[in-house]
Structure 1
């Protein structure tokens, strides 16, 4: 029942339409929405492996390292996330972290670093993670406190990271730490840290409303070799932002997938639920809700795939467009899903019903990879800078 007419939009070419068709068939055959909270780690490990075997993780890395495209294609990443999210929130999570946790290597890694990690990411044999957030530093990345001090053979790392996706199950972490070249954002560098590095410990597992592997990591005199430095020293903040510029659009795509599923479920409920002499869909209030949901879904899709097209085809920096896409898609998906729950009535808040799961899944997307408030700052600053020219 899901509307797929958007695939005919000029943002896409035939390869994207083929990707969408093939992934849709794979999801229908391979994915199940249900997973228990107690087996979330094993479920994520299995999903990474299966996504690798299916060839979908090849879209997370360049062709030179086992990927599909010569460079990362944001439209493909967004289509994959939208489709996976519509079928399984955890499958979307597993895919997204392989991309986010390897994107900085793709953009800034040495040839040796790329060869050591990217083929395994594409194959699903290494689980990736992106360690940026700290207990006292979330959106304000420049305030991070984890330090990487120079040592005779490299660096000595101390500090903590929290809310780290894949924390505890990742094979490696892209770690951001303060190296002190300058105060604030200019004194941060990026490192590649294997999960078995002495001095790295998972100090706490974090339970959230939609089960995902999240953890707090502790670094106690962790020794890193000089060749674990990723890119240029002191450029970690810029590297993190460049990585997020690519993947922020795909967060909106995941929200769009959740919203499409909610609209699909709500439409089926409205057409099948008896009300008086007819069905719920005959009710003008229900029709109004469905119309608003359709509008929000289409508007989000237009913003998302415009942002992706600008990056892929025009080669433009798309921070403003990505911020617009993420802000609108995540905020409106929350509203679309809430309306779907309302259409379902009591059944909508029953554990295990798809719209109830979606209600829990979508909330985090308005926070991670730049909260909605941060996106508003990005949009406003860009707008004012253009106005002042």
Structure 2
């Protein structure tokens, strides 16, 4: 298999996922309350075995229809899953992705006790996870993290400070929290902790955001954490964050491609049926060329996402650059395609409840979270100039402290 085509088994799996999302998940999504965690939807994702794909394994409870073909496992399988769900039900895709982002550090770096206590229910959809990295003054600059983890004895810390714009907060059951354990050490002085939501001193406030899922702020007032709560190693939390973001960044692009694909298909159907100026809309060259551009950009974004995911699965060294390119290309493309689709549909696309009205609201956020487009360009440039193939005299100085955290 190459990174640029899907085999029949993979194509069939994507079709099954779209049908599953449309028939089983969309009805649950429609019953959800905007700005709240849709727990029945999360539980359904677990019951159907879809959450298992987030953690490099297919659980025994996964039904045959949701089992990924062997060639669609790993990061590529995650991209196919997210694209397929996004095409049919963005709420289901988002719920799945947030579970993955919040719980992946536990799967990758957690102790046996942490995985048993928290990963097992998260995979089943019974415990809601959240990834708590961003702060009021630190979105895409890890060196600026200010949440303090002050020593409290030999193997304990007290967390004091704030987190902001945290998806699933304040309703999550547990948080992967990144805090500064060594002042003045930049990204090297950050530790990742698993913090249950009911830990004394932790409070949350919902934020009124343009988002169908909850986004909130967290306040830490001397919250006690111990060595048993550490994910990975003390002062190595930046690696936990970057490993998680590099895994999920290409699949953010897949989410965007799914939305672009849905907008494109809706536009094809509309312009083929709509009468205008003595013919169909598709017969107008300006319209046909616009649709051709939308299709070309969508396919280009899809190929970049698949290539980045395949590179991740092969363990290639340039994952950061490929992942950043894929996310940048796909999210910017989706914004363009959805906007063009709205334009070609006219006023009907702005009616509440219309697919494109929904996509128009949904498509904006991916250009910001998990590193805004400007951050992706910074990562790409940094990786390019760090390449040994670039002549030393042509390279510009690069920051000594890495960057690219989630917004």
Question: Considering the TM-score relative to the shorter chain, is it more than 0.5?
Answer: yes
Q: Per the alignment, in what secondary structure is the counterpart of residue 332 of structure 1? A: helix
Could you list the per-position Cα deviations for residues 255-301 of structure 1 after superposition, in whole angstroms to 9, with x for gaps in the alignment?
00010011011111101211022111111111011000001110001
From 199, 202, 208, the equivalent of 2:201 is: 199
Change (3 A) 1:72 1:170: farther
1:322 aligns with 2:317: no
Structure 2 equivalent of residue 180 of structure 1: 182
Contact 1:142 1:237 in 2 (8 A): no
Is 376-385 or 311-320 further displaced after alignment? 311-320
Structure 2 equivalent of residue 377 of structure 1: 378
Superposition pairs of residues 228-247 of structure 1, within 5 angstroms: 228-247=229-248
Contact 1:65 1:115 in 2 (8 A): no
Runs of 4 or more off by more than 6 Å in structure 1?
64-72
Superposition pairs of residues 92-111 of structure 1, within 5 angstroms: 92-111=93-112
1:58 aligns with 2:61: no
Superposition pairs of residues 325-344 of structure 1, within 5 angstroms: 325-344=326-345
Change (3 A) 1:154 1:208: same
Structure 1 equivalent of residue 400 of structure 2: none
Alpha-carbon distance between aligned partners in 2 of 1:376 and 1:54, rounded to the nearest angstrom: 37
Unaligned runs of 5+ in 1: 1-6
Alpha-carbon distance between aligned partners in 2 of 1:243 and 1:295, rounded to the nearest angstrom: 30
Change (3 A) 1:96 1:12: same
Alpha-carbon distance between aligned partners in 2 of 1:368 and 1:28, rounded to the nearest angstrom: 26
Alpha-carbon distance between aligned partners in 2 of 1:139 and 1:9, rounded to the nearest angstrom: 30
* Residue 231 (structure 1) shift: 0.8
Pairs aligned (count): 381
* Residue 108 (structure 1) shift: 1.7
Alpha-carbon distance between aligned partners in 2 of 1:29 and 1:123, rounded to the nearest angstrom: 20
How much is the aligned-residue C-alpha RMSD, in angstroms?
Answer: 2.4
Is 49-58 or 220-229 further displaced after alignment? 220-229
Q: Per the alignment, in what secondary structure is the counterpart of residue 164 of structure 1? A: strand
Contact 2:99 2:128 in 1 (8 A): yes
Structure 1 equivalent of residue 346 of structure 2: 345
Superposition pairs of residues 31-46 of structure 1, within 5 angstroms: 31-32=25-26, 35=30, 38-42=33-37, 44-46=38-40
Structure 1 equivalent of residue 296 of structure 2: 295
Structure 1 equivalent of residue 401 of structure 2: none
* Residue 378 (structure 1) shift: 1.0
Q: Per the alignment, in what secondary structure is the counterpart of residue 129 of structure 2? A: coil
Change (3 A) 1:145 1:92: same
Alpha-carbon distance between aligned partners in 2 of 1:241 and 1:72, rounded to the nearest angstrom: 21
* Residue 380 (structure 1) shift: 1.0
Q: TM-score, normalised by structure 2?
A: 0.88
* Residue 111 (structure 1) shift: 2.3
Q: TM-score, normalised by structure 1?
A: 0.92
Contact 2:104 2:244 in 1 (8 A): yes
Superposition pairs of residues 69-218 of structure 1, within 5 angstroms: 73-152=74-153, 154-180=156-182, 182-202=184-204, 204-218=205-219
Alpha-carbon distance between aligned partners in 2 of 1:64 and 1:344, rounded to the nearest angstrom: 41
Alpha-carbon distance between aligned partners in 2 of 1:184 and 1:312, rounded to the nearest angstrom: 30
Structure 1 equivalent of residue 391 of structure 2: 388
Alpha-carbon distance between aligned partners in 2 of 1:287 and 1:303, rounded to the nearest angstrom: 25
Is 13-22 or 52-61 further displaced after alignment? 13-22
Alpha-carbon distance between aligned partners in 2 of 1:24 and 1:217, rounded to the nearest angstrom: 35
* Residue 18 (structure 1) shift: 4.8
Could you list the per-position Cα deviations for residues 101-140 of structure 1 after superposition, in whole angstroms to 9, with x for gaps in the alignment?
1111222222222222222221111111000000111111
Structure 2 equivalent of residue 30 of structure 1: 24
